[in-house]
Amino acid sequence: MPPLEPTCKSGIGTLQGMRAHPFGHQPQTEDVFRRLVESIRDYAIFLLTPEGNVASWNPGAERIKQYQAHEIIGKHFSIFYPPQDLAAGKPNMELRVAAEVGRFEDEGWRIRKDGSRFWANVIISAVRDDDGTLIGFGKITRDITDRREAELRYRLLIDGVTDYAIYSLDANGNITSWNSGAQRIKGYTNEEIIGQHFSRFYTQQDTDAGLPARVLEAAAIAGHYEGEGWRVRKDGTKFWSSVVVTPLRDEAGELVGFSKITRDVTDRKLLLDTVQQHAEELELRIAEREQTNAELEAFSYSVSHDLRAPLRAIEGFTDIVLTDFGAQLPTPAVEYLRHILQATGRMNSLVRDLLSYSRMSRLEINSEPVQVGKVIRDACAELDEAMRSKVAVSADPSLCVCAHSVTLAQILFNLINNGLKFYPPDESPHVDVNARREGGTIVISVRDEGIGIAPQHQERIFQVFERLHTADSYPGTGIGLAIVKRGIARMGGTVRVESAPGKGSTFYLSLPAA
Ligand code: ADP
In this predicted model, what pLDDT tens digit does every residue of 283-299 receive, in sequence order? 999 998 888 878 877 88
Residue 429 Cβ < 6 Å to ligand 1: no
Residue 451 Cβ < 6 Å to ligand 1: yes
pLDDT tens digits for range 163-193: 899 999 999 999 999 999 999 999 999 999 9
Tell me, in angstroms, the distance from the centre of ligand 1 to residue 478's CA: 7
The pLDDT of residue 43 is 92
Residue 476 Cβ < 6 Å to ligand 1: yes
Q: How far apart are CA 356 and CA 361, in angstroms?
A: 9
pLDDT tops 70 at residue 20: no
Which of 414, 430, 481 has most ligand 1 atoms within 8 Å of CB, for mutation? 481
| Nearest protein Cα to ligand 1, atom 20 | 418
Whether the Cβ atoms of residue 20 and residue 132 lie closer than 8 Å to each other: no
pLDDT tops 70 at residue 327: yes
Per-residue three-class SS string for 259-283: EEEEEECHHHHHHHHHHHHHHHHHH
pLDDT tens digits for range 223-281: 999 999 999 999 999 999 999 999 999 989 999 999 999 999 999 999 999 999 999 99
Q: Which residues pair with 258 in a beta bridge?
A: 169, 247
Q: How far apart are CA 54 and CA 67, in angstroms?
A: 11
The pLDDT of residue 22 is 43
Residue 25: strand, helix, or coil = coil
Ligand 1 atom with least separation from CA of 419: 23
Residue 444 Cβ < 6 Å to ligand 1: no
| Nearest protein Cα to ligand 1, atom 16 | 468
Tell me, in angstroms, the distance from the centre of ligand 1 to residue 423's CA: 11
Lowest mean pLDDT among 121-130, 163-172, 466-475, 504-513: 466-475
| Nearest protein Cα to ligand 1, atom 14 | 467
| Nearest protein Cα to ligand 1, atom 13 | 467
pLDDT tops 70 at residue 152: yes
Tell me, in angstroms, the distance from the centre of ligand 1 to residue 491's CA: 22
Which of 467, 472, 473, 488 has most ligand 1 atoms within 8 Å of CB, for mutation? 467
pLDDT tops 50 at residue 195: yes
Residue 478 Cβ < 6 Å to ligand 1: yes
Whether the Cβ atoms of residue 118 and residue 112 lie closer than 8 Å to each other: yes
Sheet with strand 225-232: strands edge to edge: 175-178, 164-170, 255-264, 238-249, 225-232
Per-residue three-class SS string for 55-121: CCECHHHHHHHCCCHHHHCCCEHHHHCCHHHHHCCHHHHHHHHHHHHCEEEEEEEEECCCCCEEEEE
Torsion over CA: 406, 412, 413, 415 (sign): positive
User: Phi then psi for 508, rounded to 5 degrees?
Assistant: -110, 125
Most confident of the following: 152-156, 307-311, 363-367, 493-497: 493-497
Angle at 199 between CA 193 and CA 205, to 5 degrees: 140
Average pLDDT of every residue of the chain: 90
| Nearest protein Cα to ligand 1, atom 11 | 467
Tell me, in angstroms, the distance from the centre of ligand 1 to residue 468's CA: 7
Whether the Cβ atoms of residue 491 and residue 367 lie closer than 8 Å to each other: yes
User: Phi then psi for 164, rounded to 5 degrees?
Assistant: -120, 140
Other CB atoms closer than 10 Å to residue 421's CB: what's the count?
18
Give 24's pLDDT tier (boundaries 50, 70, 90): very low
77: closest CA among 8, 161, 138, 144? 138
Tell me, in angstroms, the distance from the centre of ligand 1 to residue 479's CA: 9
Q: What DSSP state is assigned to residue 460?
A: G
| Nearest protein Cα to ligand 1, atom 23 | 419
Pick 175 or 465 by higher pLDDT.
175
Tell me, in angstroms, the distance from the centre of ligand 1 to residue 445's CA: 16
Q: How far apart are CA 205 and CA 261, in angstroms?
A: 22
| Nearest protein Cα to ligand 1, atom 3 | 476
The pLDDT of residue 26 is 55
Residue 422 Cβ < 6 Å to ligand 1: yes
pLDDT tops 90 at residue 154: no
Ligand 1 atom with least separation from CA of 481: 6
Report strand pairing: 431-438 vs 391-395: parallel
Long-range contacts made by residues 351-357, C-beta under 8 angstroms, separation at least 24?
351/304, 351/307, 351/308, 351/311, 353/477, 353/479, 353/480, 353/483, 354/300, 354/304, 354/477, 354/479, 355/301, 355/304, 355/305, 356/410, 356/479, 356/483, 357/464, 357/479, 357/482, 357/483, 357/486
Tell me, in angstroms, the distance from the centre of ligand 1 to residue 452's CA: 10
Residue 468 Cβ < 6 Å to ligand 1: yes
Residue 326 Cβ < 6 Å to ligand 1: no
- Give the distance, in angstroms, between the CA of residue 254 and the centroid of all CA atoms in the same chain: 33
Report strand pairing: 134-143 vs 441-448: unpaired
Lowest mean pLDDT among 127-136, 149-158, 179-188, 430-439: 149-158
pLDDT tens digits for range 31-43: 777 777 777 888 9
Tell me, in angstroms, the distance from the centre of ligand 1 to residue 475's CA: 10
Q: Alpha-carbon Rg of the chain, whole angstroms? A: 49
pLDDT tens digits for range 345-369: 988 888 888 888 888 877 788 899 9
Which of 418, 495, 499 has most ligand 1 atoms within 8 Å of CB, for mutation? 418
The pLDDT of residue 2 is 52
pLDDT tops 50 at residue 16: no
Residue 467 Cβ < 6 Å to ligand 1: yes
Q: pTM of the entire structure?
A: 0.52
The pLDDT of residue 361 is 77
Tell me, in angstroms, the distance from the centre of ligand 1 to residue 304's CA: 22
Whole-angstrom CA distances from 419 to 162, 381, 436, 448, 505 are 68, 16, 20, 5, 8
Which of 461, 465, 503 has most ligand 1 atoms within 8 Å of CB, for mutation? 461
Sheet with strand 431-438: strands edge to edge: 391-395, 431-438, 441-448, 504-512, 494-500
pLDDT tens digits for range 91-148: 999 999 999 999 999 999 999 999 999 999 999 999 999 998 999 999 999 999 999 9
Residue 505 Cβ < 6 Å to ligand 1: yes
Ligand 1 atom with least separation from CA of 507: 23
The pLDDT of residue 369 is 95
| Nearest protein Cα to ligand 1, atom 25 | 452
